[in-house]
Amino acid sequence: MGEGDSILPGQRLRGRGADSNRAGRFEACDHQAYDDGWDLPEEEHLLRTETRLERPRSAITYNRSPDLPFDRSINPYRGCEHGCVYCYARPSHAFLNLSPGLDFETRLIARPGIARVLATELRRPAYTVAPIAIGTNTDPYQPIEREHGLMPQILAVLADFHHPVWITTRGTTIERDIDLIAPMAAEGLAAVSISITTLDEKLARQMEPRAPSPRRRLAMIRALTSAGIPVRVQVSPLIPALTDHELEAVMQAGAEAGATYANSIPLRLPLEVADLFRSWIESHFPDRAARVMGRVRELHGGRDYDPEFGKRMTGQGPWADLIHRRADLTRRRLGLGNGLPALRTGLFRPPPRAGDQLSLF
């Protein structure tokens, strides 16, 4: 184990993306597993997922990033059990005094009651409607959604208000909610992005240990589009020297499954993610680790990550330009749109409540 690891003896990390649990950047101290010299056998046990509950005080999070096509989002969960080692959202766990490593995928937080808070926020007189994005930080259809069922509650509120929503996921539980999403899509109020990083089943299991297989995600696209829901296949992150050669193949597979939009974002490794990903690539692909990290730094101006607006989502340099040209050519060849489908905002209206004065017109 590396310096700063706090993995206890006997803990087995089967089905986990990170291989360490280093403290986040706000912690005053770190913990390290240490052999105390006692020659006693340790009982092996799997590292289990635990979920805590949070009473949400707000539902909508706003951003001012010019790189994003939305200015507001909803996160029904904190942390994500899918365990994608490259996930740019991992550093958000540091704000909870938890590790962006294993804690991010094993110590999760569900936010029951978020739908009620959302309804209150949408009723505020000053609220101005614009599409809400769900799934921008952690996956709303990760495995614990089957137990907590927060998304049907959120979708029911959005449908009642005729509010537009973009959903990003790789979780199969979204198929449970097709009957809720399809009527909204028919009104131009809903669209879905399905993330597919690679078509290689073995590689996907290594990078995204608890996410559905690529084949299963293509089946999700077919199910959604068959119900009339517009779908974008999101080839993200595109990892240089590891998955970049699959860009055209993934877009084509998505198109054949029914997707009508496609995009791709190069790998970005903010804050703690850089060390986690470097450790993973050196462990699983030692023969190309230096090449992958070298290309990542080329993408981000000589650093593991460049957070500057206008560069962080696209990268820079010849390789970034080539990737974007390849994506544009593939979209044109397959007849796919870029970005996300436009959603309607003019239908928004708060539903009447018991005792409300109804309009005469």
Residue 232 resides in a domain: yes
pLDDT of residue 297: 96
Instruction: Give how many domains the chain has, as a whole number.
Output: 1
Residue 356 resides in a domain: no
Peptide bond connecting 100 to the previous residue in cis, omega within 30 degrees of 0: no
pLDDT of residue 353: 82
Residue 40 resides in a domain: no
Question: How far apart, in Å, do the first and last CA atoms of the chain sit?
Answer: 70
Residues 263-293 have pLDDT tens digits of 999 999 999 999 999 999 999 999 999 999 9
Q: Does 1 have pLDDT greater than 80?
A: no
Residues 80-111 have pLDDT tens digits of 999 999 999 999 999 999 999 999 999 999 99
The more confidently predicted of residues 64 and 5 is 64
pLDDT of residue 2: 41
Residues 191-213 have pLDDT tens digits of 999 999 999 999 999 999 999 99
pLDDT of residue 37: 61
Mean of pLDDT over the chain: 91
Residue 31 resides in a domain: no
pLDDT of residue 4: 42
Residue 341 resides in a domain: no
Q: Are 300 and 306 in contact (CB under 8 A)?
A: yes
| Domain carrying residue 315 | 11-23+45-334
The mean-pLDDT minimum among 14-18, 214-218, 315-319 falls in 14-18
pLDDT of residue 35: 58
pLDDT of residue 20: 81
Residue 28 resides in a domain: no
Residue 358 resides in a domain: no
pLDDT of residue 24: 78
The more confidently predicted of residues 17 and 357 is 17
| 353: number of Cβ within 10 Å | 8
Task: Express as a percent the part of the chain with pLDDT over 70.
Answer: 89
Task: Express as a percent the part of the chain with pLDDT over 90.
Answer: 81
CATH label of the domain that carries residue 243: 3.80.30.30
Residue 33 resides in a domain: no
Q: What is the rounded distance in angstroms from the CA atom of residue 143 to the CA atom of residue 157?
A: 22
Q: Does 145 have pLDDT greater than 80?
A: yes
pLDDT of residue 360: 56
Residues 3-53 have pLDDT tens digits of 445 555 545 566 787 888 887 777 766 666 555 565 555 555 577 899 999
Residues 234-251 have pLDDT tens digits of 999 999 999 999 999 999
DSSP alpha helix (H) spans, the chain: 102-106, 114-122, 145-148, 150-161, 178-186, 201-207, 214-226, 247-257, 273-284, 289-299, 318-334
pLDDT of residue 141: 98
Q: Are 78 and 107 in contact (CB under 8 A)?
A: no
Residues for the chain: how many in total? Answer: 361
pLDDT of residue 3: 40
Q: Which of 39, 62, 37, 189 is nearest to 136 (CA)?
A: 62
Q: What is the rounded distance in angstroms from the CA atom of residue 282 to the CA atom of residue 340?
A: 35
